[in-house]
Amino acid sequence: MKQKEKTAAAVKATAAAWLAMSLIASGCSKNEGGPTGEAAGGAAKEPVINTDPVTLTVFNSSMGDAAFQTSIIEPIQKKYPHMKLDMIKKSPGMTMPELVASGRVPDIIFGDSSGDIPVYREMDVLADLTPYIKTYKFDLDALDPDIVQVIRPNFPDGQFLMFPFSVNIATLHYNKDLFDKFGVPYPKDGMMWSEVLDLAKRLTRKEDGVQYIGFDFAFNVMLPYNQLSATMVDAKTFKASVNNEAWKQVFTTMKEFYSIPGNEWGKGVDGFLRTKTIAMWAGTTLFGSLPDATKNGLNWDVVALPSFPQAPKTTIQMFAPLIGVSKTSKHPDQAFLAVAHLMSEEIQGNSMRQGRPSALKSKQLKENFGKDVEVLQGRNAGAFTYNKLAPTPQPVTKYDAAVFPILRQKFYDAAVTGKDVNTALMEAEDLINKELEKLKK
């Protein structure tokens, strides 16, 4: 058996074993206050869905109000007309710690990414969904096993605390007019970063008083969720974990782009979308901005995110919305049913067609990606599902977001001021450890 096939088989086997242990654990527990649906003798019965009118509160951690209404509230109320949903939008005075302190924890809880799990877990607000998964026969096998493996480290003791509602991925957008202007071949799916560097060198030039930049990237995404799965904080020791070979390769590779004369730092995505002076931009999807940019003359397309040699066909690590149920909800069964509906093929299929990658493994869903995104028609939609997610080797810690600015500054020092990469990472390690000591106190 080829190594690739062995790896895939191992992932599936691990995911299946984890599910089996979770269900066994849930079946052996008393599950006081949990869902109903089993006879006294253990024989399974079809669960009875309560259709009495109920109001559920939903914590919206980041989604726009209009999108939340159409993507979350309306689909649930269409499926379950007896449910009324009230949104609680994250804002000053309405953060999760403040809601916990005031005893107003919402029934359904969204998180921005896996980074929210340790925070929610420390506040003890999430219900273990395992018994509800069993009672209502939710098919965990429908989830992409790679994504299950990614979120698994965040669930201690075999619990299943949150579903991955969607998946954020990164790709390489490019300006076709600039490639045509300078006679450079377009990028392709499956490229290595070294190949993109060669393209960037040919595209970075000054002409008619305009400085063109070959490549730029969203460092707030591409560094913390890097493709080599390099972590910032060790989840066991809560010490810095940046002075190592993985981070050295990430820094060295991305620094090379800013070593190209004229490839200026800090132009950002605006240089790609508005001024059209950046030939290639690496980051997450731009569907919110591309319609206007296209109307204003941006002639673009997209390819899969380039890879490192030791991690081919690999995009960034998963950071995406997650959704769970409060352990203090007075209507946990109803809340779970609402969440489960959002994870159904019907809802996830609609999301895929609208350009939001799904956590389900369905091949058909992947083939329908972006079918309803007007600006993507005639373009390389397959780029968004070409790569696999980079693995997440450990739970994200609650300190990651707080120490990232240190790492970002040290990358700037290496890329722009010319500081040696080894020195930059040694300094980052020291500063992060000092910051962690402050945070832990």
The pTM (predicted TM-score) of the whole model is 0.83
- Residues 245, 105: one domain? no
Using DSSP's 3-state secondary structure scheme, residue 374 falls into: helix
pLDDT of amino acid 114: 65
Range of the domain at 351: 3-167+318-367
pLDDT of amino acid 394: 83
> Residue 2 above 90 pLDDT?
no
How far apart are alpha carbons 413 and 406 in whole angstroms? 11
- Residues 351, 386: one domain? no
| pLDDT-wise least confident of 16-20, 116-120, 171-175, 342-346 | 16-20
> Mean pLDDT, to the nearest integer, of 85-114?
91
Which of 306, 336, 367 is the endpoint of a domain? 367
- Residues 244, 160: one domain? no
> Mean pLDDT, to the nearest integer, of 277-283?
98
| pLDDT-wise least confident of 18-32, 55-69, 74-88, 359-373 | 18-32
- Residues 117, 175: one domain? no
> Residue 87 above 70 pLDDT?
yes
Which of 338, 367, 396 is the endpoint of a domain? 367
> Residue 136 above 80 pLDDT?
yes
pLDDT of amino acid 384: 94
Helix (H) or strand (E) holding 280, with range, is: strand 278-284
- Residues 55, 134: one domain? yes
> Mean pLDDT, to the nearest integer, of 407-430?
97
> Mean pLDDT, to the nearest integer, of 271-285?
96
| pLDDT-wise least confident of 150-164, 166-180, 264-278, 375-389 | 150-164
- Residues 353, 393: one domain? no
Tell me what percent of the residues of the chain surpass a pLDDT of 70: 89
> Residue 26 above 60 pLDDT?
no
> Residue 5 above 60 pLDDT?
no
Number of structural domains in the chain = 2
| Highest mean pLDDT out of 12-21, 22-31, 268-277 | 268-277
> Residue 16 above 50 pLDDT?
no
Using DSSP's 3-state secondary structure scheme, residue 296 falls into: coil
pLDDT of amino acid 40: 37
pLDDT of amino acid 14: 39
- Residues 163, 305: one domain? no
| Longest CA–CA separation in the chain, Å | 82
Say how many C-beta atoms besides its own lie within 10 A of residue 232's C-beta. 25
Specify the higher pLDDT residue, 173 or 119: 173
- Residues 206, 92: one domain? no
> Residue 297 above 90 pLDDT?
yes
Confidence of residue 153 (pLDDT cuts 50, 70, 90): confident
- Residues 158, 9: one domain? yes
pLDDT of amino acid 154: 78
Average pLDDT, the chain: 88
pLDDT of amino acid 44: 54
Helix (H) or strand (E) holding 300, with range, is: strand 300-304
Tell me what percent of the residues of the chain surpass a pLDDT of 90: 69
> Residue 8 above 60 pLDDT?
no
Which of 305, 332, 367 is the endpoint of a domain? 367
Helix (H) or strand (E) holding 79, with range, is: helix 74-79
Confidence of residue 65 (pLDDT cuts 50, 70, 90): confident
| pLDDT-wise least confident of 63-72, 92-101, 327-336 | 63-72
pLDDT of amino acid 374: 93
Name the burial class of residue 289, with classes exposed (0-12), middle (13-18) and buried (19+) by CB atoms within 10 angstroms of its CB. Answer: middle
- Residues 7, 149: one domain? yes
Please identify which residue in the block is written with the tokens 């008619």.
208
> What CATH number is attached to the domain comprising 406?
3.40.190.10
Q: Beta 170-175 vs 278-284: how paired, if at all? A: antiparallel
Given a contact cutoff of 8 angstroms between Cβ atoms, the answer to whether 352 and 369 are in contact is: yes
CA distances to 69, 255, 400 from 238, rounded to whole Å, are: 39, 27, 10
Please spell the DSSP secondary structure of 188-208, one letter per residue.
Answer: -TT-BHHHHHHHHHHH-EEET
> Residue 205 above 50 pLDDT?
yes
Confidence of residue 35 (pLDDT cuts 50, 70, 90): low
- Residues 192, 295: one domain? yes
> Residue 97 above 70 pLDDT?
yes
> Residue 437 above 60 pLDDT?
yes
> Residue 3 above 90 pLDDT?
no
pLDDT of amino acid 9: 44
Given a contact cutoff of 8 angstroms between Cβ atoms, the answer to whether 228 and 308 are in contact is: yes
- Identify the DSSP state of 126: B
> Mean pLDDT, to the nearest integer, of 402-410?
97
> Residue 28 above 60 pLDDT?
no
Chain centre distance of CA 244: 24
Given a contact cutoff of 8 angstroms between Cβ atoms, the answer to whether 263 and 257 are in contact is: yes
Close Cβ partners of 398 (under 8 Å, ≥ 6 residues apart): 115, 118, 119, 122
- Residues 111, 24: one domain? yes
> Mean pLDDT, to the nearest integer, of 248-254?
98
